[in-house]
Amino acid sequence: MRVRPQTGLDIDGFTLGEKLHEGGFATIWEVTHPLYRTPLVMKVPKILDGYDGPTIVGFEVEQMILPRLTGPHVPKVYGVGDFSVMPYVVTERIPGESLLVRFRDAPLPVSDAIELAARMADALHDLHRQHVIHLDLKPENFLQRPSGEMVLVDYGLSRHDQLPDLLAEEFTIPMGTFPYIAPEQFLGARNDPRSDIFALGAMIYQAATGKLPFGKPEKLRGVRPRLWRDPVPPRALVPDMPDWLQEIILRALEVDPAKRYQTAAQIQFDLTHPAQVKLTARGLKQRQDGAGVVWRRWWKMRGVKGFAAPVSVQEQIGKAPILLVAVDLSPEMEALADLLRQNVQRMLVTQPDMRVACVNVIKTSRIAIDATVDDEGQNLHVARLVGLRHWAEGIDLGEERLTFTVLEGTDPAAAIIDYAGHNNVDHILMGARGHSSTRRYLGSVSSQVVAEAHCSVTVIRRRGADEAAEPEAAAAE
């Protein structure tokens, strides 16, 4: 016997309180449980008296995926109910409203739009690393914790790489929120994480301009023109928008997934390193493409049935990782720096879409923090940046995938670890100065990075002046 949700209902120890929200497919209720002091909410699908296939299957998908997710960017699950009595999912209650409230005030100040975009990209990358493509990104599906992390909700249309895709098995009609879905979703694809990057680009466009890049189509056929029609350039709507931000937005909105950012980590990296975003014609556009260009694009796309997609989310992330190379520019470390460069070049053979972040650390004194000028009055940051660029000569990458950063801190290892964490670095490559009794007892920068980094780390060590170096790879968990 099925039970309908109502205030005061007790089910599996959860007591329903106030109805907090009613959407088209589900209701959200405040709930309590004697075992949990955490504020909780219960989501219950709105299943009609007749058969409501998409709602039922979508809720089954959410019940499958959500309990498998962890971390600050997803709500913690406390209970799941089956369809025999009343289907539900109970999660922690994230205080505050969804981003839809913020987006109603768009266009936001550029600085606010950039900060929101970077936080959304960070959350999306974390989701992708857990094998999930969301496929329904929109402002109302983002919440924000008091600590700042974005939380993604509503997984009814999502796909998990390691679970059956029930929606694809049951339905052939493309699903999603029309203003945000990617061209390949319109064509029926549900297996490309870059679809989420397209939706993220549409949201950044909306936050920065107050407009939707492709309008607000109410029917599916209204989505089709985005296969050949480009949006109005954001700077035509907001003239004081930085050209680098338009570059990021329009790259995320490319029709062909292969021309977009390949991972959410890459778009987050550019949003937080604007000075190193390489401008192309995208960033400088002032108007939409002309009729001739659009017609040629329409002619090309009229027979397209789909785009090449990765085998899995993990494969896509693995093809386009962010590599942090910690380069010691000391004269005595020149030979080791050469070995680092050679290893980067070898890695690019197998991972040609890799992004390389070249990093050097200026170690400061705990007493005198200002270390920006050396004894001869030269600016250390400028000198180190020049040194990094010189070191990177010979690495065959476009400037948009090769960046240079000089960090500063009393603890070089902590600076590297912090940079890697904030920029979703997938792998750290660094050198070790060799063995000594002092380093054995006091530790080294490389050993600290290996022990504390939340990504894999490869340490290159020279065994001797005339000996070939061998990498020591360590997985830092």
Tell me the per-residue pLDDT of 1-26, one tens digit each, with 9 for 90 and over.
578 899 999 999 999 999 998 888 89
Give the model's pLDDT for residue 51: 55
- Supply the pLDDT for residue 174: 85
Residue 291 vs residues 217, 317, 420: alpha-carbon distances, Å? 21, 37, 45
Q: What percent of the chain has pLDDT over 90?
A: 67
The pair phi, psi for residue 10, each rounded to 5°, is: -115, 125
Residue length of the chain: 477
| pLDDT recorded at residue 118 | 97
**Beta carbons of 110 and 208 less than 8 angstroms apart:** yes
SS3 letters for 138-199? CHHHEEECCCCCEEECCCCCCEECCCCCHHHHHCCCCCCCCCCCCHHHHCCCCCCCHHHHHH
CA angle 367-372-375, nearest 5°? 85
More confident call, 130 vs 461? 130
* Closest CA relative to residue 235, chosen from 205, 275, 214: 205
Query: What is the model's pLDDT at position 441?
Result: 41
pLDDT digits (tens, 9 = 90+) for 157-201: 999 999 999 988 888 788 899 999 999 999 999 999 999 999 999
Does residue 468 carry a pLDDT above 90? no
Residue 152 predicted with pLDDT over 70: yes
Is 60 exceeded by the pLDDT of residue 415?
yes
Cβ(153)–Cβ(75) below 8 Å: yes
**Is beta strand 132-133 parallel, antiparallel or unpaired with respect to 159-160?**
antiparallel
What pLDDT, in 10s, does the model give residues 307-322?
Answer: 998 888 988 988 889 9
Question: CB of 214 within 8 A of CB of 225?
Answer: yes
Distance separating alpha carbons of residues 62 and 53, to the nearest angstrom: 14
Give the integer Cα–Cα distance in Å for 129 and 124.
9
According to DSSP, the residues that pair with 65 across neighbouring strands are none
Sorted by sequence, the CB contacts under 8 Å of residue 315 that are 6+ apart come out as: none
Residue 305 in this model has a pLDDT that exceeds 50: yes
Rounded to whole angstroms, the Cα distance separating 144 from 477 reads: 26
pLDDT value, residue 394: 83
* pLDDT attached to residue 476: 45
**Beta pairing partners, 10:** 15
User: In 3-state terms, what secondary structure has residue 322?
Assistant: strand
State the average pLDDT for the chain.
89
**Using one digit for the tens of pLDDT, what is the confidence trace for 212-233?**
999 999 899 999 999 999 999 9
Residue 56: its pLDDT value, please? Answer: 87
Of 14 and 303, which is predicted with more confidence? 14
**Span 55-66, mean pLDDT?**
92
383-399 per-position pLDDT tens digit: 899 999 999 998 887 76
The residues that bridge with 470 in the sheet, in sequence order, are 461
Q: Which domains does the chain have, with CATH numbers?
A: 10-92 (3.30.200.20), 101-305 (1.10.510.10), 321-475 (3.40.50.620)
Name the more confident of 125 and 337.
125
**Lookup result for tokens 């089910």:** 11
- Cβ neighbours of residue 258 under 8 Å, at least 6 residues apart? 307, 308
In DSSP notation, 194-216 reads: HHHHHHHHHHHHHHHHSS-TT--
Mean pLDDT of 398-408: 84
Indicate whether 374 pLDDT > 70.
Answer: no
The string of pLDDT tens digits covering residues 311-367 is 889 889 888 899 999 999 988 888 888 999 999 999 988 888 889 999 999 988 755
pTM: 0.88
Residue whose pair of structure tokens reads 């890697």 in the numeric block:
420
Least confident of 289-298, 363-372, 405-414, 447-456: 363-372
